Each structure stands twice: as C-alpha cells, then as structure tokens.
A and B are shown apart, each in its own frame.
Chain A
Amino acid sequence: MISRKLCLLGAFAVGKTSLMRRFVKGVFDERYITTLGVKIDTKTVELENQTAKLVIWDIEGADPADRENQLISSRMKAYLAGTDGLLLVADGTRPVTIDTARAIYRWFTAEFPSVPAALLLNKSDLVDEWAAGEGCLDGFDGLLQCFTTSALSGENVERTFLYLAEALTKDENRADGDS
C-alpha cells in the first residue's frame, strides 16, 4: 500500500482540525480547541485503482494579523517538508481568512512548485453569515480545485480529501530527489 503526506493549512479557527476529525473519524465537535504544533492522523482510502494510506498533518493555524513575511513560521515550514499535497482552508464567513489563505498560497507555490493544492471554503452550513463572494479566487492561479465544505454537516469533506488524494497519487512526477 502506498502512503502519502497531506497537510492542512490556513488561518486559525477556520476548521482545519474539525475537517480532519470529520474525514477520519466522521464526527464533529462544537468546541474550539486551538491546535498547537501539529496533530497527525491517518486514514486508508480506496482510490480509483489503488488503496492509499493518507498521513494527514493538521498544522497549527496562521495568524491573519501577522505581516505576510511572518505568516509562515519556521516551525510550520518544517512540518510542511516533504508533503505530497496541501489542503488550504479558509472560513467562508470571514473574508480575512481567504486573504490569509491567498498569502500562504503565494508563498507555498514558490516553495513547493510541483505540489498540488486545493482551497476549502469551510463552514458552508452558516448560510446567513456567508461572505465569500465574487473575486475571492483571484490570486489563486494554478490551484487544483476549490470546494465549499462543512465539517459540521460533512458536506464535500470526503469528496475534497479524495479528490486531492487522487490527484497526488496520480502525479507520477513526484520529485525524485531534492525539492
């Protein structure tokens, strides 16, 4: 069985941990317990023509208040090392988190040019407060895909993870050497 590393990254409180819990354990928790460092879990998934074990790294959230060059701490960089795919998470009810995601994405594509990344606009269940609108995808050039998800209802969660897993296992040109 093949195994691949997947990272969840985004501003804090956007629902990274909740998304991972929903995907791996199928449960949701209202409580917010901020992640320090990183949380790791694994899940074996059946893809189109193989079984893969996803090792998912739920990395602590970035602070949108930080200036762009401080957004990604050296610790976060170390956690991202060797990742095969990135799930960039933003909170659809807070446009500022999309800006953070955009800044992270800009940095990420420069640092890991060949690693696929997808954007998740989370909390789609909060329809009344939804604020992501036109133009929110500007500046995400080369993005694999953008999904609206909800860790609460489970909408699109499984689909998003599997989509990225499929993309990064199909990618035969995985860097073979230094990246």
Chain B
Amino acid sequence: MTDSRNPGDRSEAAELARLRALLLGDEKKRLDRLYQRVTEPEPRTGDVAEVLPGAMNRVADDPVAGPQMERPIVQTIRSAIKRDTESFAEALFPVLGPAIRRAVADALRSLVQRINVAMEHSFTAKGLRWRLEAARSGVPFGQVVMRHTMLYAVQEVFLIQAESGLVLASARREDTLLLDKDAFSAMLTAIQAFIQDSFGAAGGEPLRSAELGDRTLWLINGPRAVLACVIIGSPPHEVREQLMDALETLHSQYGDQFSGAPELVAAEPGVNAILQETLLGETVEPAQDSRRSRSRLIWAGAGLALLLVLTWTAWTAWTDNRLEHRLARLFESEPGYVLTRHDMRDGQFHLAGLRDPLARPPAVLIGETGVDSERVSLGFHPYQSLEAEMIERRLRAALGDATNLELEFDGAGLAVRGALTSAQFAMLENLPGLHPVIRSVDLSQARLSAAEAVEQARAQLSAPPSVAFAASAAGDRIEVAGAAPVGWFAAASERSLPVGGWALDFEPLRQSLGSRLSELERGLEDSVVQFSRGLRMTPDSQTRMESLARDLAELQDLAAGLGVEIEIQLEGYADGVGAAEKNLEIAMSRARAVHSALKDRGINPDLLVLAPGHWEGGAADPQQRKVVVQITREPAR
C-alpha cells in the first residue's frame, strides 16, 4: 500500500489537529459526540421516535402536509398487498365478507327467487308414492316424507381443517344417516385439491357445490377451514349467506385454533353452538299468492268436504248396523224375551216379539247398549217363559218374601234351601202336579221360619211364659233360656224333638238352673241349727228351720232335675262338758232331731246323712250345742 502524498502533508495535518485541540479543548469533544449522534442510525432512531407521534398529529391536522403524507403510506400498503395478498385477505376475511354480502343481499332481496318444490299432487296419491319409494329404497318412510316435504334442510355440517381435511367439528339433524365423517371430509378435501390442481391455477376458485345422489353438497371456503354442508331439497340463496356468516363468525372467534389439533376445536362449546344453528331448514307451506293454487285449494276443500260427508254417511251406517245387532243380540240372550223381528227404518230401530212380564224392562236393556231409547220402538206381546231363570223369578214372586231362599231348578226338580213360613211350605209341597214344569220339590234342606218354629215349640212343650225361645246367632238351632221350674225343664229336655227343622237347645236354661243350684249350695253350706240345752232348739233356730227346709227342698229338686247327686250331711256337736260317750250320744241325738224335723218338712231322707262333728273335749262351750249342715256333691259315677 503506497501513499501518493508527501510526508510533509501528514505532519501538517497532525499539527493542525493538535492546534485544534489546544484552541477548542472540551468543545471538540462535544462536537465529536454531536457528530456521532447525527451520523449513527441507532441514536437517531431514538430521537425521531421521541418526536414522531407529536409530528404525525400535527401533519394529520395540516391541510397541506396531510395529503402529502398519505400518498407514500397508501402506496406502501398497496405494494404490500400486491406482494402478500393472502395474509391481507385472511386478515380482512371476517370483516369484508359480511359487509359485501349484506349490501348485495339488500339489493337483491326482491329478486331472490325461491325454488318452487313441486307439490302438485293429491294427498293420497302422493302418500302412496312415497310409501312405494320408501319400500323400494329401504329408506325409512319418515325420511322420505321429510325429503319431499322439506323445501330444504341442511342435514349435516362439517367444519373441516382446510389443509389436512380433518374434521374440526360437526353437527347433524337427528334424523339423518350417519356416515364416516372423517373419511367423508378427507375425501372432500382431496377432491378440492384435485379440482384446484386440475382446472384452476393455484388460488383459483375452489369447489363450491356438488351433487350427492338426491342431496346437494355445499362447500363454504374460508382461509383456514371449510364448512361442508349436506343439504336436501333446494335451499334459497340466503341460506348460503347464512352459512357464510356462520363460517366468518367461526373464523373471527376461533380461527387461531383452526390449524392446531382438531380435537381442541371440537371441544369448544361455542363452535358447536354455531354449527347447530347452521342446520337450517324450511318445511313446505301451501302457496297462497297464486290464483291457481287458490282454486286448487277450493277444489281440494270441496273434495275434502265430500270425502267427509261420504265418510260420515258410511260411518253412521256402519255404526247403526252395529248398534242394531248389538240390540238384537242383547234381547235374544235376555231371559223372558223372544225376539221375532228386528230392523232399522228411518233412523229408528224396530224390535218385536214376546216378553214375559217378569223379564227386565226393555228400557234397562236398551240403556246397556248405549242406544238412545228415543230411537227404539218396541212391539212385544206378553207370554210366560219356561226358562229356568224365569221360573225361579215367577216362583219367588209367588212366595212373596223369599229373598233368603235358595232355589235350584234343574229342569224338572226344584231344591229349596233356607227358612220358609208354613204357608210357603204348604205351597211348595203342593207345587208338583200344579206346575207345568216342576215335577218334584226337595224340601229336605228347608225349614220353618224361626218365628213360626218358636211358636210351635212353645205350644208343643207348654212352656211357661218365663221360658224364652230364640234362634241362635248362628241360625242353626233354637235356644231355650230364661227361667222355668226344674221339673218342666227335666220333662221338656227329655222329649225334645226338632221343631220344623230346627233343633232345640236347652243348654242356656240348664246353665241358669245350674247356677241357681250352685248359689243354693253356697248359701246352705255351714248353716247352723243352734240348741239351747239338750234337744231343745233355740227359738231362733226353730223359726230358721222353715227357711232351711225350703231351701233344701229347692236344692233337692234342682239336683234331681239336673241329674246332680247330692248328700246333705248333718253334723251333730256337743258342748264338751262331761263324759265323751255322753257328749257323742247327745251330738248324734241332736243330728237325729234335725233329721226328723227336715223329713217332716219334705226333705228326702235318703239324701240326709248323720255324722258326729269334731270338737275339743274338756272345755264347756254352749255355742257348740248345734248341728251344722254340709252339702257335698257325689262324685260322678
């Protein structure tokens, strides 16, 4: 490297520098710093940033400088858009789309033509055709109807990741058939790729719709996701706009996630809610604005009315026929009726034949069929039915009060069960021979009515009025109760025979007599006959002797009547003064004295037994001069 200048120059420059340093000193350093600041970009950027916002504001307000400033900015943006259209389109997509479409929609609203689904067919013919179609294709009938009656329906939507073709989220109507949505959407995406590659330059118009048998497939393309919609019928154009709206909303809210893992998008409830709303649909409504359809409506109305009238006539004829037969069947099967003729004239049912006066009234029967009795006219002549049921009914009527009677008629013989009055007995006994059908009457299970049986029993047994007769609670016998001389009881119970089919039960009377016996026994036990001295009774005992004898007489009668064997023991006592033999002798004498007194008063001496009592000797006790009466029942032998 060689320097063209001479060495003198170099030393001169150095001299100058030194001189400058001497003259300027610190000033030079400051100048250097300033120089540095102006020439190096880093500090300058900082300076400009400090003042830029203020300067911009001032320029924007300035009427001259403002437009000058705009030009380069707009130019920059324009060239940026030209260079990178896609990112700008993506950024503007959610904003521009709705704005443009809204404007277009407003302008076209009046022109938008609704596709008219052909509905020119009668109800029945159409229904039949649809059924045939369903049977042929194996598609459920409901779905065929929907396919035809829906003007259109978005049946299924898929939100598809634009690049991979993976399903981000989907929604479908309940009534659609399931398909493998992942395979389906991947295939769609492949088709998109194929078409775009084959027919358009990259970035050209993508596939917008396709036919899938009777369905239409709409593809709404967004920058990151595609909305694929399976549609039946012919949807109006607004539907596409609504679907685009939905896709834009999805992009603006969830677009960031559309390139990530698909399951994250599916988990967003907001995404699914928006997709649900895209399942648009409209059912057929009758066209109202064309005269042709109005006249068709009138014809249809007239046809319907005629159909109604015809149906009504057929219906009433059919129901009347059914009612007539129901009436006839009922009267034919009812006992006491013979139906000879039935028909239906001028809205009236006519029934004629024979009727037993004891048969159920016709009004009751008619009531059971539900037929208005006003519509039934009857012509029945009276007769006597020989049907078993009517015979029984007639018999009951003749017997008068026979509600508790059981009558059983087997065609020839009548069996009667229950209680009868003697008059009824007489009537029934005389029936065979008088009655046209009943050949015999079996009264073995019947008996006299309780009241009559009681009267008969009372008379037969010549019962005193104190005796009560009554049918038992079980109704199987007549119970004899109340009070009666035991002699009557003994005699009556002895020869008791059934009365009018009733057994007599004397047990209640026996029991009341028995308790009287026990009562007497208790009262007489330990009765004392006191002696004053020797064999002389005290005056008191003499008077008491009468009542004692009376009670013992009753006791003896009762025991005899009831078949109870008793023993009346007379125990003699002495006062214990003197020799024992003497005492015993006087005690036995006292017992004998009472014995003879009682015998004199009618007591059966066979029942009387004499016995010495037990007493202590050696102590004089005048109270012991007595006879004590003891009654014992003989043990049953």
Where the two chains meet, the residues of A that have a C-beta atom closer than 8 Å to any C-beta of B are 1-5, 37-38, 40-42, 53, 55, 57, 73-75, 78-79, 81-84, 174-179
Contacts and interface: CB of A to CB of B under 8 A. Distances in A.
Interface residues of B, number: 25
Nearest to A7: B164
Interface of B: 161-167, 180, 182-183, 186-187, 190, 193-194, 196-198, 202, 256, 259-263
A82 B161 contact: yes
Nearest to A83: B164
A178 B193 CA distance: 18
Given A2-B263, A38-B190, A40-B190, A78 B197 contact: yes
A74 B183 contact: no
A55 B185 CA distance: 10
A93 B251 CA distance: 49
B164 A74 contact: no
Contacts of A79: 190, 193
A73 B164 CA distance: 17
Contacts of A55: 164-166, 182-183, 186
Nearest to A178: B259
A79 B186 CA distance: 10
Given A3-B166, A82-B166, A57 B190 contact: yes
Contacts of B259: 82, 175-179
Given A5-B164, A75-B197, A78-B193, A174 B261 contact: yes
Nearest to B190: A38
Contacts of A82: 161-166, 259
A12 B260 CA distance: 32
B184 to A, nearest CB: 9
Contacts of A73: 197
Given A78-B197, A174-B261, A40 B187 contact: yes
Contacts of A38: 190, 194
A55 B190 CA distance: 12
A73 B197 CA distance: 10
In the A-B complex, the 7 residue pairs with the smallest Cβ-Cβ separation, listed nearest first, are A82-B164, A82-B163, A78-B193, A81-B163, A75-B197, A5-B164, A2-B263
B186 A5 contact: yes
Given A55-B165, A55-B166, 16 more contacts: A2-B263, A3-B182, A5-B166, A37-B194, A40-B183, A40-B187, A41-B183, A78-B197, A79-B193, A81-B164, A82-B166, A82-B259, A84-B164, A176-B259, A176-B260, A179-B259
A67 B581 CA distance: 170
Nearest to B168: A3
Contacts of B202: 74
A176 to B, nearest CB: 5
Nearest to B164: A82
A178 B182 CA distance: 22
A42 B181 CA distance: 10
A64 to B, nearest CB: 21
Contacts of B167: 3
Given A5-B164, A55-B166, A74 B197 contact: yes
Contacts of B163: 81-82
Given A38-B190, A42-B180, A78-B193, A1 B263 contact: yes
Contacts of A3: 166-167, 182, 262-263
B308 to A, nearest CB: 56
Nearest to B191: A37
A131 to B, nearest CB: 33
Contacts of A42: 180, 182-183, 186
Contacts of B162: 82
Contacts of B166: 3-5, 55, 82
A1 B264 CA distance: 10
Which of A1, A3, A5, A37 is most buried by chain B, counting CB atoms within 10 A of its CB?
A3
Contacts of B261: 2, 174
A5 B165 contact: yes
B268 to A, nearest CB: 15
B259 to A, nearest CB: 5
A55 B182 CA distance: 7
Nearest to B185: A55
Contacts of A178: 259
A83 B182 CA distance: 14
Contacts of B194: 37-38, 75, 78
Contacts of B262: 2-3
Nearest to A50: B263
A37 B256 CA distance: 30
A165 B163 CA distance: 19
Given A83-B164, A174-B260, A176-B260, A40 B198 contact: no
B165 A78 contact: no
B182 to A, nearest CB: 5
Contacts of B186: 5, 40, 42, 55, 57
Contact of A75 (B164, B165, B198): B198
Given A1-B263, A37-B194, A38-B190, A53 B164 contact: no
A57 B198 CA distance: 19
A91 B549 CA distance: 146
